[in-house]
Amino acid sequence: MGKFYVTTPIYYINSEPHIGSAYTTIVADVIARYRRFLGDDVFFLTGTDEHGQKVYNAAKEAGKDTETFCDELAEKFRSLWKDLKITNDGFIRTTDPQHMKTVQYFVEKMMNNGDVYRGVYRGWYCVPCESYWGDEELLEGNICPSCGRPVKRIEEVNYFFRLSKYRDPLLKHFHENPDFVEPDFRRNEMLRILEGGLKDVSITRTTFSWGVPMPNAPGHVIYVWIDALINYASAIGYPHDTEIFQRYWPADVHLIGKEINRFHSIIWPAMLMSVGLPLPKKVYAHGWLTVNGQKISKSLGNAIDPRRLTEVYGNDVIRYYLLRDIVFGRDGDFSEENLITRINADLANDLGNLVHRTTAMVVQNFGRVPNPGPMEGPDTQLVELATATVHRYHEGMTSYRFTQALENLWELVRFANKYIDLTEPWKLAKRPEKRERLSAVLYNLLETIRLVSLMLLPVMPDTSEEIRKRLSVEEEPSAQQLKWGLLKRGNPVVHGEPLFERIDPAKWSRVIVTRQEKGEENEEREERALITIDEFKKVKLRVAKVVAAERIENSRKLMKLKVNLGELGERQIVAGIAKHYEPEELVGKLIVVVENLQPAKLMGEESRGMLLAASKGEFLRILTVDGEIEPGAEVS
Ligand code: ME8
């Protein structure tokens, strides 16, 4: 029996769980259930990240003392996971005294290894991301490159971790373990960061006290990310409960969202190297979900409680939809329309009908699992497809290609429906001399359904159990039973209610209705989705001609441009485009700039205005004008 240790991020408890946190947790649950099905000894961990400035501020805003606030929110996460039938084996809270002791032990160990020193941190901090940023990393206007919100300038005497020392060992690890970070495009992003060199990171804060105290350093609390990452070790007993820790460590997979990949694929492994622990086998950084095409946000009113969705549609249905429709690893949209389509097509029509039609005919004609018979007509094709599906299913599940695994499984479901049309058992039932053939056909169908129900188990545990009940399959489900022919003859068969109800989209009211759709005002101005034309008009956009361009010394990102704005004269604009353009390429271009932006100084250079550019991932292109027009022309 192998072991398998799977983790989710520990979620900040500044707000309630939403479909984003539920997504990672559901995927982790699917993996945990699959590994148990394979026979592995599984430890599945989730929990809550309770320290740091963001949680502290949220408690203050809620007018509660921090401990009470954390207790209440942690309970909301715990009870949601229970309601969603998440089978986590551990639930860690970073305010657990045991965890806090482990964090101190871990950091002291890093210190004893010469990896922690005192210094002054001068730079930027993003509270929503709890992240430090250097000047050169910020977007124009002092904006956090991860979440797009304004950052704060801080200057503190801090302790630093010698992350730079681990750049070469990390690069070596990445090269020797090509699957360490997945998907490969996320791995490449990390490789680029490593190739660019690593700076040491500050690991303590002094301006607030809601955290784990730094040992022997009064006034310092350990940086929330260092505290949080250590959860993966402390939750399984490190350093005291060596038996459990040794049984499960290293983690087989840390599941995370793409925005926290750097912490998991660079900082955490370096911390582990520092204390001499093995690295996790894999970090899987999945994409981001939007809901009905919009970013998940409290102020839009679409950050609904996932419990509500499962109450309306069913837990298994939501799980199936998330795993089937959102390609794991990629960004995706949780669309209620698509969910309804999946329910009607894949669940009610394909799977529901297969089970319904088959059990109805068995109950009518035999009442029990009938005898198999000699192979005829499309039988071989069905058996061969079932066997091939088992193989493809395992391939998909072990490589985290869930969409692929479910698509393959549905090929079998659809073919089984086709098999009914080809063999026409309702006609066989009318001819007593064909009873043996009828028995064989129905046996083949029941056996296919049994295999499908087993393969469905990790994703749709209740449906899987319900189907097995209808077939009176009593054995503990395991991957060992994924072999054709194990269904016991004579088992009573139950017909039962349809497994899924069809939804008529015309008569259906959606669960997710945004404030805007309800005609309500949004609460938080800063995150409002829509602006008025008058608000837009406040931004003065003009065409400018680039007269000169030059890189800014000591900055990899910034370039200064001299631009001509016609009647408004010439001025200097600093833009973060140096990684994407050569200065010569820009001279003579007609670009679009925000002309009435407050002046700012970037790396000592004055910037009066901002150019417009489009970016996606690593790519950035500036906006130019389609043809000749006088510099200074207004853009609206
Ligand atoms: O980052 N789509 O916590 P967090 C997909 N405490 N996944 C989403 C999502 C979305 N729209 N929104 C959130 C933290 N997630 C730290 C982690 S771990 C040592 C510390 C999921 O509450 C996704 O897994 O901000 C993402 O990485 C995580 O929630 C962020 O949760």
Residue-wise pLDDT tens digits, 562-588:
999 999 999 999 999 998 999 999 999
Dist. CA 329 → ligand 1 center (Å): 14
Q: What pLDDT is attached to residue 1?
A: 73
Q: What pLDDT is attached to residue 519?
A: 66
Q: What pLDDT is attached to residue 240?
A: 93
Q: In what order do the strands lie in the sheet with 181-182?
A: 90-93, 41-49, 3-12, 253-257, 283-286, 181-182
Grade residue 474 by pLDDT with cuts at 50, 70 and 90. very high
Paired strand residues for 49: 12
Residues 198-225: pLDDT tens digits? 999 999 999 889 999 999 999 999 999 9
Pocket (CB within 6 angstroms of ligand 1): 9-12, 20-21, 23-24, 49, 228-229, 231, 256-257, 259-260, 288-289, 296
| Pairwise CA distance, residues 402 & 282, whole Å | 17
| Pairwise CA distance, residues 82 & 76, whole Å | 10
Nearest CA to ligand 1 atom 27: 257
Dist. CA 381 → ligand 1 center (Å): 44
- How high does pLDDT run on average in the chain? 94
Residues 497-515: pLDDT tens digits? 999 999 998 888 888 877 6
Dist. CA 294 → ligand 1 center (Å): 17
Q: Contact 356/312 with Cβ under 8 angstroms? A: no
Cβ neighbourhood burial of 625 (10 Å; 0-12, 13-18, 19+): middle
Q: What pLDDT is attached to residue 511?
A: 84
Q: What is the dihedral of CA 519, 521, 525, 529, to 10 degrees?
A: 0
Grade residue 17 by pLDDT with cuts at 50, 70 and 90. very high
Dist. CA 259 → ligand 1 center (Å): 8
Q: What pLDDT is attached to residue 525?
A: 40
Position in ligand 1 atom list of the atom nearest CA 255: 24
Q: What pLDDT is attached to residue 530?
A: 62
Q: Which of 7, 11, 23 maximizes ligand 1 atoms within 8 Å of its Cβ, making it the mutation to test the pocket? A: 11
Give me the mean pLDDT over the 294-308 stretch.
79
Chain centroid offset of residue 504 CA: 30
Q: Angle formed by the axes of helices 66-83 and 53-61, to 10°?
A: 100
Measure CA of the first residue to CA of the last residue in the chain; give whole Å.
66
In the chain, the domains with their CATH numbers are: 335-481 (1.10.730.10), 533-635 (2.40.50.140)
Residues 506-563: pLDDT tens digits? 888 888 877 667 666 544 444 444 667 877 888 999 999 999 999 998 888 899 999 9
What lies within 8 Å, CB to CB, of 514 at 6+ separation is: 292, 294, 300, 301, 302, 529
Q: What pLDDT is attached to residue 303?
A: 77
Nearest CA to ligand 1 atom 7: 20
Global pTM value? 0.82
Nearest CA to ligand 1 atom 13: 20
Give me the mean pLDDT over the 260-269 stretch.
98
Dist. CA 283 → ligand 1 center (Å): 14
Dist. CA 193 → ligand 1 center (Å): 21
Residues 94-137: pLDDT tens digits? 999 999 999 999 999 999 999 999 999 999 999 989 999 988 88
Q: Could you tell me the sign of the dihedral formed by the alpha carbons of 462, 463, 467, 468, in that order?
A: negative
Cβ neighbourhood burial of 7 (10 Å; 0-12, 13-18, 19+): buried
- Strand ranges inside 263-336, DSSP E: 283-286, 289-291, 332-334
Burial readout 189-214 (b: 16 or more C-beta within 10 A, e: otherwise):
bbbebbeeebebbbbbbbeeebbbbb
Q: Contact 565/632 with Cβ under 8 angstroms? A: yes
Give me the mean pLDDT over the 411-417 stretch.
98
Nearest CA to ligand 1 atom 15: 20
Q: Is 10 helix (H, G, I), strand (E, B) or coil?
A: strand
Grade residue 592 by pLDDT with cuts at 50, 70 and 90. very high
Give me the mean pLDDT over the 143-171 stretch.
93
Give the number of other CB atoms < 10 A from CB of residue 499. 21
Residues 349-403: pLDDT tens digits? 999 999 999 999 999 999 999 999 999 999 999 999 999 999 999 999 999 999 9
